[in-house]
Amino acid sequence: MKIGELATRTGLAASRIRFYESIGLLKLVERQANGYRSYPEEAVLVLNLITTAQQAGFSLDELRSLLPQDLSQWEHGKLLDTLQGKVRDIEALEQRLAQSKTHLLALIHEIESKPGDLDCAANAKRVLSKMNLGEMNAPGKRVKR
């Protein structure tokens, strides 16, 4: 099939398909005598794999090392190790995001707990001093001293 049909079937721009080819991710291309690219059916599967993997957080470099020349030559162990490694990366990111969320919620709580007799500048100093002393915790949690 020609690149236009491949673009239509995958929802990708032809320029994106050419880019994947140029960086070695899409190897299933032949040139016809007139210079046009010709792609086999399998190219649809490969491009869908690339798109799905990118959405799951894989970088183009990771994909380049993971995708075999021929999809029938997947290395089962390498594929599983890579996927499990990506799950661990996602879990670590989730943990960092949860910590950031907890910190932001504590900051919001402290700002909202402004004593009535303080102006905004004095409240900011109060909150910053608590941050510097490490006294802030998420709302409803006890402060360790």
pTM (2 d.p.): 0.66
Kindly indicate the confidence band of residue 137, based on its pLDDT and cuts at 50, 70 and 90: low
Domain residue spans in the chain? 1-69, 75-145
Residues near 16 by beta carbon (within 8 Å), at least 6 away in sequence: none
- The per-residue pLDDT for range 75-92, each reduced to its tens digit, is 888 888 988 999 999 999
Please give the residue that has the higher pLDDT: either 34 or 97. Answer: 97
Q: Is the pLDDT of residue 74 over 50?
A: yes
Kindly indicate the confidence band of residue 16, based on its pLDDT and cuts at 50, 70 and 90: very high
Burial of 48 (0-12, 13-18, 19+ CB in 10 A): middle
Give the residue from 50, 30, 32 showing the smallest Cα distance to 40: 30
Q: Please give the backbone phi and psi of residue 39, each rounded to the nearest 5 degrees, phi first.
A: -115, 140
pLDDT at 140: 52
Task: State how far the Cα of 71 lies from the Cα of 27, in Å rounded to an integer.
Answer: 11
Q: Is the pLDDT of residue 111 over 90?
A: no
Q: Is the pLDDT of residue 55 over 60?
A: yes
Q: Is 25:63 a contact under the CB 8 Å cutoff?
A: yes
Give the residue from 106, 103, 126, 105 showing the smallest Cα distance to 114: 126
Classify the C-alpha dihedral 42-14-79-30 as positive or negative.
positive
Q: Out of 1.10.10.60, 1.10.1660.10, 2.30.110.10, 3.40.50.700, select the CATH number for domain 1-69.
A: 1.10.1660.10
